[in-house]
Structure 1
């Protein structure tokens, strides 16, 4: 039974997480503890979080798309494999425990933060790509699997890999990340809904907050570009690292 106060509280929280997700990702590490604190069972929390995230990410994607930053055709195979990977991840997570990931993922997040800080590629200028769009697709599928399976840091992994391997400028990589995130969210929502792990009313309220947050966050990122995205990616990556390590050792 969800207490009445939970609906406005988590809707307000979704505004914040939608704003953060639209720029740098990582909102799930705020929303998931909030859902669990409110008494939502873990799998229902995962499913409901994916539902609200889908709407927030979709809103951000629309704004990036209208600004001409999202290239669909060159990345269509990545989109397909992200969907397939996220579907597989959402199936697997409903079958096994994920505690070990709380120790593995911080290592990857710290590596991403170091790359963001030190790499000269982390600007809004496009660079020479190291792999083709087809060559990137399997990695996109692997990150999609991780998003469906666990999730924290997915936006960071997409963005840093798109900058490092595809040569996109940081704002364009962030925009394309929303396309991949939106795709993986759709797959996850379908699987969690079919598994009966969805709180539709709560998720709908949170989606309204996420839409507002996604709208504000994407417009902010478009206005300030890499000057905002780069430091926020570092802060989010290190914040997620601390949160995951605390969760691992606390339990």
Structure 2
């Protein structure tokens, strides 16, 4: 191993090394130097990481550590460090352990008294939050939404009244279903930001009330593609006028002949109310 100040005075160490989430220029100089100088790189997918290492002309050996083998292989890596090796932990993209493998390895290292050194770097959660325009003083990252509708709606009900910004990852083939479940649980007025393909060529960050965001996503198939982060504005008490019996009757009559969204828009104009509040009332009562 090369003698360098980058490593911790040659103390055997586990380094947590973030890698780019898209744009390779986002890797830090320190990350490159650590990956070059450690004895071994524990990687979620050695083939994927191999492409990154090749780009930066790094020749360090890799070791596969992923969700399916981490609990069995973590102790092997701990023993290597105790024997004098320094190891870098990377995931396919972003910061390890953030919806990626590494928890069991880090836990075992700390239990064994192994030095653990985290490097700052790319993380889709923080990147999306910083540009979302949503409150960032309090936020909660919840990982990926459940794959099935019931699991999603159960999870969304847990955060429905949370006043903090809630953040989820979502996959391209589930984004529309996820937004529909959000509409059902959170209502049409809740502001949601969709951040996709962050740091890449087609990076998009769009924030709208849920009812409008669903339409926006549906207008272009490209808006359903890529790596996605969903950020949900925290719960706020309704400040709109109470829906009168007269407005409710108007909405009920119109909804018999028109789509609820159109009926809500007309009723809102007639009674000086918010169309999204009327739309939500209609979903709950008609």
User: What's the TM-score bracket when you normalise by the shorter of the two chains?
Assistant: under 0.3
TM-score, reference length from structure 1: 0.26
TM-score, reference length from structure 2: 0.24
Larger radius of gyration: 2
| Larger proportion of helix | 1
* Structure with bigger RCO (C-alpha 8 Å, 6+ apart): 1
| Larger proportion of strand | 2
